[in-house]
């Protein structure tokens, strides 16, 4: 990499000619991550507000391209690792995210549950144990006071504050359960996101093998299919099979992104909502 050329290009970022600026920006973008350190160094040395703003925008563009590429690779590879996908979404807002710290936090919760799960128990007993550790020991809860805050949809923020929305709490809960070989998966219910305890050996529901459902936003409350029937009836929504069955990891991330789009739109952050629409497009067939 030609450091002298990069330094020269950065000094030209404050050029008033839109065409020249566009050309310079394009060349710097072509370097990708390699140029971020140089841009940050130039920002620290500069007292020019325009140059600083353009550097900030350029760094954001590079980081946004990274997120789009990582999300596309995750999707094209099958989207099997939900934690990895959720981390990628997290990096949209926090590009310097310490991924290993996130993984360690998840593993710590899993370990604390596993240490108390020394004997085989029934599905209900396992869920009660997860609930005890998740809610009573770690203190996770639904953010009812500020439900529209975008932070509710970012994994790192939820793990730190122990507050989140329905889907973020459900993702963490299900990832931990699956790491413990407990078959708990997300269900894409309208206006709510819940979890299902699926057991193909014990057919509670002959069609989809669901033993029961879990409302993670309500302290892990356990309920049955009839409750979903009633919920849909209250919303005047026709019951569909997909409202009762586990959904794909891709559908889960789509819902996370839609929540973020809604949050940013209500906050007036239109540029962010437009970028997130681009991320949503990545996950479409």
Residue 285 confidence (pLDDT): 63
Q: Is 236 left (phi over 0), alpha (psi -120 to 50) or beta?
A: left
Residue 208 is classified by DSSP as T
Give the bridge partners for 221, in sequence order: 215
Is residue 201 scored above 70 in pLDDT? no
> By the 8 A CB rule, do 178 and 135 touch?
no
pLDDT tens per residue across span 108-153: 999 999 999 877 789 999 999 999 999 999 999 999 988 889 999 9
Residue 35 confidence (pLDDT): 86
Interval 178-199 mean pLDDT: 95
> By the 8 A CB rule, do 130 and 220 touch?
yes
> By the 8 A CB rule, do 116 and 131 touch?
no
Helix, strand counts (H, E) of the chain: 12, 6
Residue 200 confidence (pLDDT): 62
The CA distances from residue 102 to 43, 147, 247, in Å, are: 29, 22, 24
Residue 1 confidence (pLDDT): 59
Interval 101-110 mean pLDDT: 98
Is residue 202 scored above 60 in pLDDT? no
Predicted TM-score (pTM) of the model is: 0.90
* Candidate from 30-44, 125-139, 154-168, 252-266 with smallest mean pLDDT: 30-44
CA distance 218 to 215: 5
């Amino acid at each position: 990499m030609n450091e002298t050329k990069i330094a020269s290009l950065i000094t030209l970022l404050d050029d008033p000619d839109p065409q020249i600026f566009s050309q310079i920006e394009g060349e710097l973008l072509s370097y990708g991550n390699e140029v971020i350190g140089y841009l940050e160094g130039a920002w620290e040395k500069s007292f020019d507000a325009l140059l600083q703003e353009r550097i900030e925008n350029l760094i954001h563009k590079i980081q946004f391209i990274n997120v789009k590429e990582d999300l596309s690779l995750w999707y094209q590879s099958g989207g099997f690792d939900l934690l990895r996908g959720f981390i990628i979404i997290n990096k949209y807002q926090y590009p310097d995210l310490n991924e290993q710290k996130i993984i360690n936090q998840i593993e710590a919760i899993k370990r604390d549950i596993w240490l108390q799960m020394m004997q085989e128990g029934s599905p209900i007993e396992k869920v009660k144990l997860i609930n005890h550790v998740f809610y009573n020991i770690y203190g996770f809860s639904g953010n009812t006071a500020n439900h529209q805050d975008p932070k509710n949809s970012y994994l790192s923020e939820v793990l730190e504050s122990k507050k989140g929305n329905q889907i973020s709490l459900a993702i963490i809960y299900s990832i931990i359960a699956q790491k413990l070989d407990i078959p708990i998966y997300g269900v894409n219910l309208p206006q709510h996101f819940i979890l299902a305890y699926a057991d193909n050996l014990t057919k509670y529901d002959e069609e989809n093998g669901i033993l029961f459902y879990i409302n993670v936003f309500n302290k892990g409350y356990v309920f049955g299919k009839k409750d979903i029937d009633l919920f849909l009836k209250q919303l005047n929504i026709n019951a569909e099979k997909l409202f009762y069955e586990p959904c794909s990891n891709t559908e889960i991330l789509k819902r996370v992104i839609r929540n973020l789009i809604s949050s940013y739109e209500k906050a007036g952050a239109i540029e962010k909502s437009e970028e997130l629409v681009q991320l949503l497009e990545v996950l479409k067939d």
